[in-house]
Amino acid sequence: MTNVQPLAPDDLGPTVCVGEILVEIVATSVGEGFLEPIDLIGPYPSGAPAIFIDQCARMGGSAAMVATVGNDDFGRLNTLRLEGDGADVSAISLDPELPTGSAFVRYRSDGSRDFVYNMWTSAAGQLRWTDAVDALVNRSGHLHIMGTLLSRPAIWEIIDRAAGIIKSRGGSLSLDPNLRKELKNDDETELRFAKVVEMSDLLLPSGEELERAAGVSGEDAALCKLFGLGVGEVVLKRGAGGATFFGKDGCRIDSPAFLVDELDPTGAGDCFGGAYVACRRLGMTIDDALTYANAAGARNVTVRGPMEGAGTRTQLDQFITDTMRRA
Protein backbone atom coordinates (compact mmCIF):
# COMPACT_ATOMS: atom_id res chain seq x y z
CA MET A 1 0.00 0.00 0.00
CA THR A 2 1.34 3.41 -0.95
CA ASN A 3 1.91 6.10 1.66
CA VAL A 4 1.13 8.96 -0.75
CA GLN A 5 -0.20 12.08 0.93
CA PRO A 6 -3.93 12.61 0.36
CA LEU A 7 -5.31 15.62 -1.44
CA ALA A 8 -6.75 18.33 0.79
CA PRO A 9 -9.91 17.00 2.47
CA ASP A 10 -13.28 17.93 1.06
CA ASP A 11 -14.29 19.79 4.21
CA LEU A 12 -11.49 22.34 3.67
CA GLY A 13 -13.55 23.84 0.86
CA PRO A 14 -14.65 23.14 -2.70
CA THR A 15 -12.64 21.96 -5.65
CA VAL A 16 -12.59 24.95 -7.98
CA CYS A 17 -11.86 25.11 -11.70
CA VAL A 18 -11.29 28.23 -13.80
CA GLY A 19 -12.13 28.30 -17.49
CA GLU A 20 -14.60 28.23 -20.32
CA ILE A 21 -18.28 27.39 -20.32
CA LEU A 22 -19.75 26.58 -23.73
CA VAL A 23 -22.71 24.96 -25.37
CA GLU A 24 -22.01 22.15 -27.80
CA ILE A 25 -24.11 21.49 -30.90
CA VAL A 26 -23.38 18.13 -32.51
CA ALA A 27 -23.92 16.76 -35.99
CA THR A 28 -25.96 13.55 -36.01
CA SER A 29 -24.20 12.22 -39.11
CA VAL A 30 -20.59 11.14 -39.53
CA GLY A 31 -18.67 13.14 -42.12
CA GLU A 32 -16.23 15.97 -42.69
CA GLY A 33 -16.93 19.58 -41.91
CA PHE A 34 -20.00 21.79 -42.22
CA LEU A 35 -20.06 22.73 -45.89
CA GLU A 36 -23.65 21.67 -46.46
CA PRO A 37 -26.87 21.59 -44.43
CA ILE A 38 -26.91 18.67 -41.97
CA ASP A 39 -28.96 17.60 -38.97
CA LEU A 40 -27.68 18.90 -35.63
CA ILE A 41 -28.62 18.14 -32.04
CA GLY A 42 -28.13 20.28 -28.95
CA PRO A 43 -27.41 22.61 -27.29
CA TYR A 44 -25.57 20.62 -24.62
CA PRO A 45 -23.77 22.13 -21.60
CA SER A 46 -20.03 21.90 -22.22
CA GLY A 47 -16.52 23.25 -21.71
CA ALA A 48 -13.80 20.97 -20.30
CA PRO A 49 -13.58 22.75 -16.89
CA ALA A 50 -17.37 22.70 -16.55
CA ILE A 51 -17.56 18.98 -17.38
CA PHE A 52 -14.90 18.27 -14.76
CA ILE A 53 -16.73 20.29 -12.10
CA ASP A 54 -20.10 18.78 -12.94
CA GLN A 55 -18.78 15.24 -12.50
CA CYS A 56 -16.98 16.23 -9.30
CA ALA A 57 -20.24 17.59 -7.88
CA ARG A 58 -22.32 14.62 -9.03
CA MET A 59 -19.83 12.31 -7.31
CA GLY A 60 -20.67 14.06 -4.04
CA GLY A 61 -17.63 16.29 -3.79
CA SER A 62 -17.77 19.98 -2.99
CA ALA A 63 -17.20 21.74 -6.33
CA ALA A 64 -17.32 25.26 -7.78
CA MET A 65 -16.79 26.95 -11.13
CA VAL A 66 -15.17 30.27 -12.11
CA ALA A 67 -16.35 31.35 -15.56
CA THR A 68 -18.31 33.93 -17.56
CA VAL A 69 -21.42 33.30 -19.65
CA GLY A 70 -23.67 35.51 -21.72
CA ASN A 71 -27.07 36.80 -20.65
CA ASP A 72 -28.80 34.23 -22.85
CA ASP A 73 -30.40 30.81 -22.79
CA PHE A 74 -27.07 29.08 -23.51
CA GLY A 75 -25.60 30.62 -20.37
CA ARG A 76 -28.68 29.77 -18.33
CA LEU A 77 -28.63 26.19 -19.64
CA ASN A 78 -25.11 25.74 -18.27
CA THR A 79 -25.53 27.45 -14.91
CA LEU A 80 -28.80 25.63 -14.24
CA ARG A 81 -27.15 22.28 -15.03
CA LEU A 82 -24.16 22.94 -12.78
CA GLU A 83 -26.27 24.30 -9.94
CA GLY A 84 -28.78 21.48 -10.27
CA ASP A 85 -25.97 18.92 -10.03
CA GLY A 86 -24.68 20.49 -6.82
CA ALA A 87 -21.90 22.80 -8.01
CA ASP A 88 -21.36 26.27 -6.55
CA VAL A 89 -22.04 28.82 -9.32
CA SER A 90 -21.52 31.96 -7.23
CA ALA A 91 -18.37 32.91 -9.19
CA ILE A 92 -19.91 32.49 -12.66
CA SER A 93 -20.35 36.03 -13.92
CA LEU A 94 -22.72 37.35 -16.56
CA ASP A 95 -21.50 39.37 -19.53
CA PRO A 96 -24.24 41.81 -20.61
CA GLU A 97 -23.13 42.06 -24.24
CA LEU A 98 -21.31 38.97 -25.52
CA PRO A 99 -23.00 35.60 -26.07
CA THR A 100 -22.13 32.38 -24.27
CA GLY A 101 -19.38 30.44 -26.04
CA SER A 102 -20.30 27.69 -28.46
CA ALA A 103 -18.81 24.75 -30.31
CA PHE A 104 -20.24 22.99 -33.35
CA VAL A 105 -18.88 19.45 -33.58
CA ARG A 106 -18.89 16.79 -36.27
CA TYR A 107 -17.30 13.37 -35.99
CA ARG A 108 -15.34 11.88 -38.87
CA SER A 109 -15.33 8.18 -39.75
CA ASP A 110 -11.94 7.69 -38.06
CA GLY A 111 -13.23 9.12 -34.77
CA SER A 112 -11.52 12.52 -35.15
CA ARG A 113 -13.60 15.68 -34.91
CA ASP A 114 -14.17 18.93 -36.76
CA PHE A 115 -14.90 21.93 -34.55
CA VAL A 116 -16.24 25.41 -35.22
CA TYR A 117 -15.66 27.39 -32.02
CA ASN A 118 -16.78 30.74 -30.74
CA MET A 119 -14.84 30.72 -27.51
CA TRP A 120 -12.41 33.51 -26.67
CA THR A 121 -14.37 36.13 -28.63
CA SER A 122 -17.46 35.19 -26.61
CA ALA A 123 -18.35 35.74 -22.95
CA ALA A 124 -15.93 32.91 -22.10
CA GLY A 125 -13.04 35.23 -22.94
CA GLN A 126 -14.15 37.90 -20.45
CA LEU A 127 -12.99 36.15 -17.27
CA ARG A 128 -11.79 38.58 -14.59
CA TRP A 129 -10.95 38.46 -10.88
CA THR A 130 -14.10 39.70 -9.16
CA ASP A 131 -15.28 39.98 -5.55
CA ALA A 132 -17.21 36.74 -6.06
CA VAL A 133 -14.10 34.97 -7.34
CA ASP A 134 -12.08 36.30 -4.40
CA ALA A 135 -14.68 35.09 -1.89
CA LEU A 136 -14.83 31.63 -3.49
CA VAL A 137 -11.07 31.13 -3.76
CA ASN A 138 -10.51 32.16 -0.15
CA ARG A 139 -12.74 29.33 1.05
CA SER A 140 -11.61 26.69 -1.47
CA GLY A 141 -9.57 23.60 -0.71
CA HIS A 142 -8.41 22.42 -4.13
CA LEU A 143 -7.65 23.95 -7.53
CA HIS A 144 -7.89 21.91 -10.73
CA ILE A 145 -6.07 23.35 -13.75
CA MET A 146 -6.56 22.61 -17.45
CA GLY A 147 -3.30 22.99 -19.36
CA THR A 148 -5.02 24.44 -22.42
CA LEU A 149 -5.83 27.61 -20.45
CA LEU A 150 -2.22 28.48 -19.66
CA SER A 151 -1.83 30.23 -23.01
CA ARG A 152 -4.51 32.79 -22.05
CA PRO A 153 -2.78 35.62 -20.09
CA ALA A 154 -5.92 36.88 -18.32
CA ILE A 155 -6.91 33.38 -17.23
CA TRP A 156 -3.35 32.57 -16.18
CA GLU A 157 -3.40 35.58 -13.84
CA ILE A 158 -6.52 34.19 -12.14
CA ILE A 159 -5.10 30.66 -11.94
CA ASP A 160 -1.77 31.82 -10.54
CA ARG A 161 -3.41 34.03 -7.94
CA ALA A 162 -5.91 31.32 -6.95
CA ALA A 163 -3.16 28.70 -6.66
CA GLY A 164 -1.20 30.84 -4.24
CA ILE A 165 -4.21 31.50 -2.02
CA ILE A 166 -5.44 27.89 -1.97
CA LYS A 167 -1.98 26.46 -1.33
CA SER A 168 -1.41 28.95 1.50
CA ARG A 169 -4.48 27.67 3.34
CA GLY A 170 -3.37 24.05 3.11
CA GLY A 171 -5.17 23.22 -0.12
CA SER A 172 -3.98 21.04 -2.98
CA LEU A 173 -3.66 21.35 -6.75
CA SER A 174 -4.20 19.02 -9.70
CA LEU A 175 -3.25 19.46 -13.35
CA ASP A 176 -4.68 17.88 -16.49
CA PRO A 177 -2.05 18.83 -19.10
CA ASN A 178 -4.65 18.50 -21.90
CA LEU A 179 -1.94 19.76 -24.22
CA ARG A 180 -2.56 21.19 -27.66
CA LYS A 181 -0.15 21.95 -30.47
CA GLU A 182 -0.55 25.70 -29.91
CA LEU A 183 1.31 25.36 -26.60
CA LYS A 184 4.52 24.36 -28.37
CA ASN A 185 7.23 26.96 -29.05
CA ASP A 186 5.51 29.54 -26.82
CA ASP A 187 8.15 30.43 -24.23
CA GLU A 188 5.75 32.23 -21.88
CA THR A 189 3.28 29.34 -21.86
CA GLU A 190 6.09 26.85 -21.36
CA LEU A 191 7.21 28.76 -18.26
CA ARG A 192 3.68 28.81 -16.89
CA PHE A 193 3.29 25.10 -17.57
CA ALA A 194 6.56 24.26 -15.81
CA LYS A 195 5.52 26.35 -12.79
CA VAL A 196 2.16 24.56 -12.51
CA VAL A 197 3.77 21.11 -12.83
CA GLU A 198 6.07 21.89 -9.89
CA MET A 199 3.08 23.07 -7.80
CA SER A 200 0.93 20.03 -8.56
CA ASP A 201 -0.01 17.45 -5.95
CA LEU A 202 -1.70 15.35 -8.65
CA LEU A 203 -0.94 15.07 -12.36
CA LEU A 204 -3.56 13.56 -14.71
CA PRO A 205 -1.85 13.11 -18.10
CA SER A 206 -2.90 11.10 -21.13
CA GLY A 207 -0.41 9.29 -23.38
CA GLU A 208 2.59 11.38 -24.36
CA GLU A 209 1.55 14.18 -21.98
CA LEU A 210 3.43 12.35 -19.21
CA GLU A 211 6.77 12.75 -20.97
CA ARG A 212 5.84 16.24 -22.15
CA ALA A 213 5.16 17.36 -18.58
CA ALA A 214 8.49 15.97 -17.39
CA GLY A 215 10.50 17.17 -20.38
CA VAL A 216 12.22 13.80 -20.75
CA SER A 217 11.60 10.63 -22.78
CA GLY A 218 10.53 7.31 -21.32
CA GLU A 219 7.82 6.54 -18.76
CA ASP A 220 10.20 5.64 -15.92
CA ALA A 221 12.44 8.64 -16.52
CA ALA A 222 9.43 10.96 -16.71
CA LEU A 223 8.02 9.68 -13.43
CA CYS A 224 11.37 10.01 -11.69
CA LYS A 225 11.71 13.59 -12.92
CA LEU A 226 8.17 14.56 -11.89
CA PHE A 227 8.46 13.11 -8.39
CA GLY A 228 11.78 14.89 -8.03
CA LEU A 229 10.04 18.16 -8.86
CA GLY A 230 7.59 17.56 -6.01
CA VAL A 231 4.56 16.05 -7.77
CA GLY A 232 2.74 13.90 -5.22
CA GLU A 233 0.99 11.36 -7.45
CA VAL A 234 0.49 10.66 -11.14
CA VAL A 235 -2.55 8.99 -12.68
CA LEU A 236 -1.95 8.11 -16.32
CA LYS A 237 -5.15 7.89 -18.37
CA ARG A 238 -4.83 5.12 -20.96
CA GLY A 239 -8.27 5.28 -22.62
CA ALA A 240 -9.40 1.76 -23.49
CA GLY A 241 -6.39 0.54 -21.52
CA GLY A 242 -7.78 1.88 -18.25
CA ALA A 243 -5.59 3.94 -15.94
CA THR A 244 -2.47 3.59 -13.82
CA PHE A 245 -1.62 5.22 -10.51
CA PHE A 246 2.04 5.94 -9.74
CA GLY A 247 3.22 6.96 -6.27
CA LYS A 248 6.58 8.52 -5.46
CA ASP A 249 7.33 5.55 -3.18
CA GLY A 250 7.32 3.27 -6.23
CA CYS A 251 3.76 2.03 -5.83
CA ARG A 252 1.91 1.23 -9.05
CA ILE A 253 -1.80 0.37 -9.30
CA ASP A 254 -3.31 -0.63 -12.66
CA SER A 255 -7.07 -0.27 -13.02
CA PRO A 256 -8.75 -1.88 -16.07
CA ALA A 257 -11.22 -0.05 -18.27
CA PHE A 258 -14.90 -0.90 -18.57
CA LEU A 259 -16.21 -2.45 -21.80
CA VAL A 260 -18.74 -0.09 -23.40
CA ASP A 261 -20.02 0.91 -26.83
CA GLU A 262 -18.77 4.43 -27.45
CA LEU A 263 -21.27 6.95 -28.77
CA ASP A 264 -19.61 10.28 -27.94
CA PRO A 265 -16.06 10.42 -26.52
CA THR A 266 -16.11 14.13 -25.70
CA GLY A 267 -15.73 14.75 -21.97
CA ALA A 268 -14.54 11.28 -20.98
CA GLY A 269 -11.19 12.49 -19.62
CA ASP A 270 -12.84 15.38 -17.79
CA CYS A 271 -15.34 13.04 -16.13
CA PHE A 272 -12.48 10.70 -15.20
CA GLY A 273 -10.61 13.57 -13.54
CA GLY A 274 -13.65 15.01 -11.79
CA ALA A 275 -14.54 11.66 -10.27
CA TYR A 276 -10.95 10.85 -9.25
CA VAL A 277 -10.33 14.18 -7.53
CA ALA A 278 -13.69 14.05 -5.73
CA CYS A 279 -13.04 10.49 -4.52
CA ARG A 280 -9.54 11.26 -3.26
CA ARG A 281 -10.73 14.40 -1.45
CA LEU A 282 -13.58 12.40 0.11
CA GLY A 283 -11.00 10.02 1.58
CA MET A 284 -11.48 6.98 -0.63
CA THR A 285 -8.68 4.53 -1.33
CA ILE A 286 -6.72 4.92 -4.54
CA ASP A 287 -8.15 1.62 -5.84
CA ASP A 288 -11.70 2.83 -5.32
CA ALA A 289 -10.95 6.27 -6.77
CA LEU A 290 -9.51 4.67 -9.92
CA THR A 291 -12.52 2.40 -10.29
CA TYR A 292 -14.99 5.26 -9.99
CA ALA A 293 -12.91 7.43 -12.35
CA ASN A 294 -12.79 4.70 -15.00
CA ALA A 295 -16.51 4.15 -14.59
CA ALA A 296 -17.25 7.88 -14.90
CA GLY A 297 -15.26 8.20 -18.12
CA ALA A 298 -16.76 5.03 -19.60
CA ARG A 299 -20.34 5.88 -18.67
CA ASN A 300 -20.04 9.33 -20.20
CA VAL A 301 -19.07 8.05 -23.66
CA THR A 302 -22.24 5.95 -23.88
CA VAL A 303 -24.45 9.07 -24.03
CA ARG A 304 -24.49 11.80 -26.66
CA GLY A 305 -23.42 15.16 -25.23
CA PRO A 306 -20.20 16.05 -23.40
CA MET A 307 -21.56 15.88 -19.83
CA GLU A 308 -24.85 14.05 -20.34
CA GLY A 309 -23.37 10.80 -19.05
CA ALA A 310 -21.75 12.24 -15.93
CA GLY A 311 -22.92 9.95 -13.13
CA THR A 312 -23.87 10.26 -9.49
CA ARG A 313 -22.22 7.86 -7.06
CA THR A 314 -25.36 5.73 -7.04
CA GLN A 315 -25.45 5.62 -10.83
CA LEU A 316 -21.76 4.75 -11.01
CA ASP A 317 -22.19 2.00 -8.41
CA GLN A 318 -24.87 0.46 -10.63
CA PHE A 319 -22.70 0.93 -13.73
CA ILE A 320 -19.78 -0.82 -12.01
CA THR A 321 -22.04 -3.71 -11.01
CA ASP A 322 -23.55 -4.10 -14.47
CA THR A 323 -20.53 -3.51 -16.73
CA MET A 324 -17.71 -5.91 -17.56
CA ARG A 325 -14.09 -4.76 -17.38
CA ARG A 326 -11.20 -5.58 -19.65
CA ALA A 327 -8.98 -8.45 -18.56
Does a structural domain hold residue 151? yes
Q: What is the pLDDT of residue 182?
A: 43
Does a structural domain hold residue 77? no
**pLDDT more than 90, % of the chain:** 84
Does a structural domain hold residue 72? no
Domain that holds residue 279: 10-19+47-67+129-322
Ramachandran quadrant class, 135 (left: phi over 0; alpha: psi -120 to 50; beta: rest):
alpha
Q: What is the pLDDT of residue 141?
A: 98
Handedness of CA 272, 21, 68, 88 (dihedral sign): negative
Q: Is the peptide bond before 43 cis (omega within 30 degrees of 0)?
A: yes
Angle, helices 268-281 vs 48-58, to 10°: value is: 40
- Nearest Cα neighbor of 290 from 262, 251, 257 is 257
Does a structural domain hold residue 105? no
Model's pTM, two decimal places? 0.95
pLDDT at 53 over 80: yes
Integer Cα distance of 19 and 126 in angstroms: 10
Q: Which range, of 57-66, 171-180, 246-255, averages the lowest pLDDT?
A: 171-180
Does a structural domain hold residue 168? yes
Average pLDDT over residues 207-228: 92
Q: Which range, of 34-48, 111-125, 175-189, 201-215, averages the lowest pLDDT?
A: 175-189
Does a structural domain hold residue 282? yes
183 pLDDT tier (thresholds 50, 70, 90): very low
Q: What is the pLDDT of residue 178?
A: 80
Integer Cα distance of 141 and 12 in angstroms: 5
State the CATH number of the domain containing residue 261: 3.40.1190.20
185 pLDDT tier (thresholds 50, 70, 90): low
Integer Cα distance of 50 and 54 in angstroms: 6
Mean pLDDT of the chain: 93
pLDDT at 180 over 90: no
Angle, helices 48-58 vs 73-84, to 10°: value is: 30
Integer Cα distance of 51 and 124 in angstroms: 15
Does a structural domain hold residue 234? yes
Burial 49-76 (b: 16+ CB within 10 A, else e): bbbbbbbbbbbbbbbbbbbbbbeeebbe
184 pLDDT tier (thresholds 50, 70, 90): low
Give CA torsion, residues 266, 180, 53, 131, to 10 deg. Answer: -140
Tell me if 222 sits within 8 A of 216, measured CB to CB. Answer: yes
Q: What is the pLDDT of residue 4?
A: 63
Query: Residue 77's beta-bridge partner residues?
Result: none
Q: What is the pLDDT of residue 130?
A: 97
Does a structural domain hold residue 103? no
Average pLDDT over residues 216-223: 93
pLDDT tens-digit series, residues 90-141: 999 999 999 999 999 999 988 888 889 999 999 999 999 999 999 999 999 9
Ramachandran quadrant class, 60 (left: phi over 0; alpha: psi -120 to 50; beta: rest):
left
Average pLDDT over residues 266-294: 97
Q: What is the pLDDT of residue 252?
A: 95
- Domain tally for the chain? 1
Question: What DSSP letter does each residue of 113-129 carry, written as one string?
Answer: EEEEEE-TTSGGGG---
